[in-house]
Chain A
Amino acid sequence: MTLRLFKAALAALALGSAALPSLASAQEFERPVRIVVPYAPGGTSDILARLIAPKLSEAIGQSVVVENKPGAAGNIGADSVAKAKPDGHTLLLADIGTLALAPTVFPDLTFNVQNDLAPVGMVMFAPYVLAVHPSVPAKNVAELVAYAKANPGKLAAANSGIGGLNHITAIALAKDLGIEWKTVPYKGGSAASRAVVSGESNVIINGATATLPFVTNGQLVGIAVTGEERLAALPNVETFKEAKLPLADAGTWQGVMTTGGTPPEVVARLNAELAKILAMPEIKDRVAEQGGSVRPGSPDDAKAWLANAIKNWGEVARAADVKIN
């Protein structure tokens, strides 16, 4: 009896192992997956990565580790992903807008953004807020332009670091509006918004996460926002599009990439899991807390977006003549 049972079990096992190969190909992840965040802990990318990691781990049945590799505007972390084994086990969660500018702004870049990295999918978008210190008598774009023209040299636009998308946006904006302002670089977005609150600089263009709290509590005055529609928190502030400003699609674009040359089916699997995670209400809520909205999409959409951004924003950066080294 027991022997027969044993034999039956053996047979079942043999059958099972015969069926295993097909199962194994569905199980693409045989070791822990790393999500590299190329910035210090605590920023938007880091928070997103730490939100996504446990959910992804559940879905693929492997542990998912978040690793912070800060330095050189995110290029050190991105480089480590670009040079990893192309099997989808090393992911990058970063501001793709900044990554799109890198080839133009950093001619010494150690990797090729389009070939050495493969987009998995977009994660979120948070619009930029253009705001001024209350000492600047302007409430909309027209008044700001009028003030700038009447008071040359009075405006100083803070940005979160040289060569970043908000730096380029400030230069492009001034050019388009025919006004002049100094662009003052700070170390990171929160230092920049603090400087504008204290009045050291008096204009800021930066992500809603860092800027919106100061506008809603009245320490800064909102002038315009990027993105397709007005912000729910600032219904009276016009969009870049309404004000006919360039770079209306600028903002914080967070996305997931993996190593270039990763098999498309692995990327597809990752994208499918990412889409499921981004559809979870708790994730949506946390992203909204960061001042943005989730942007699920296919890898090809992300690829096209990246190519477009590299071309368009690169042109703007070249026109602004921002080059590092």
Chain B
Amino acid sequence: MNAVASAPAGVLDVAQQSAETAHYRAQDWFVVLRQQGWHTFQSLPMPTRDNEKWRFSDARSLSLDGYAPAPAPTAAQAADLIARSRLISDAAGLIVHVDGHCILKPTLSAELVAQGVVFESLEDAVRTRPALLQEHLLKHPVLLGSDKFAALHRAWLRAGYVLHVPKGVEVKQPFVSVTWTLTDDVAVFPHALIIADERAVADIHDFHLSAKADQRALAISAVDIHAGTGSQVRRLAVQAWGSATQSFQVDNTCGGRDALISSVNAAVGSRRARLENCVRIDGEGADVRLYGISVATGEQEFDQRTLQIHAAGHAKSDLLFKNALLGKARTIFSGLIKVAPEAQRTDAYQTNRNLLLSPDAEADSLPGLEIEANDVKCSHGATTGQIDPAELFYLRARGIPLAVAQELLAQGFLEEVLAKVGHEQAAAAVREMLRLKFHQA
């Protein structure tokens, strides 16, 4: 142990990574997975801005130095954060992590257990459900640029959860995961593996939060969603890490025949946050809705990269990302719709709307289409603008002060996406986070 202690500590330290991997000796497949992650991470360069996938990003300021795993929280800290995690009162189950340690395991109703629903920590599932995990865990390619970060995620994979809803089981209440950072300079690698079998129905709410507002941390999260034939998967992901966090989210979804998939990604936290959201439609008749919403303030950078892949025909995908920017904030939206030659009768849309609330804010938009089929309906659009002066005057003519009027209009701009959350309490929680963001700006 002395040799380890004298080595450079942290997530870039091979000895520390190996030592943690050694805990999984009994699950050799998982050891291999982590080792592969480490080797891939070592072999890849850090991204630079001349890479098309990082265009407009402030790649120069990317740094992975100085972040380390943190010990489990004290009982008192855990109790406090569990209490603060009860955001959704009708949750089907709640799982809570702090600094990468699972501090609350979900308790499912006897009915859900009897139906075969699995909602448990990744760490438990690695031991108890190797077959399920080996089939589904991290099987998607990372296509949107964060290969190196995704590899580090794989190398340190431990935190997170597995949700498996078996064939024909419909769960109306949301499964809720709350992931906290608590210790400054902690590195966390939360993972969500969501498997909805044929005709299964599942609703997931993921909250990424920090115990304090200015938390310094590195968060590299990944999501694998497997939506089977005729399944319905609805997910809300809230990125509200502390303001000194670097966040990377690599979301991958594949949708089977007639699957209904909807995701809302809400972002308020972090100093820089990159979201890569890739959806692959493998089955005909699938219907995918991707929504994004953010309020960027100060010197925040929100970097959104999306990819809608239509590999099967007669399917629909629709994307709407809305950003409100204050201060010197920057957002980048880069979205691509790819339609394979065999994916005839595709309906695919993509819209990015940015509201600039400050002259110093900047929103870049890079929409794109790559269509190889000839019988499709595809469109993309992007707008960046300011508050409509006529709307502003209307509110002020009712006595509403300028700052309040601007906030109301900006919130109204974002409401279109909040309406897609489909769960009133969750939407209210996000609405409140957005509101607070305006007030802190």
Q: Is B a genuine binding partner of A?
A: no
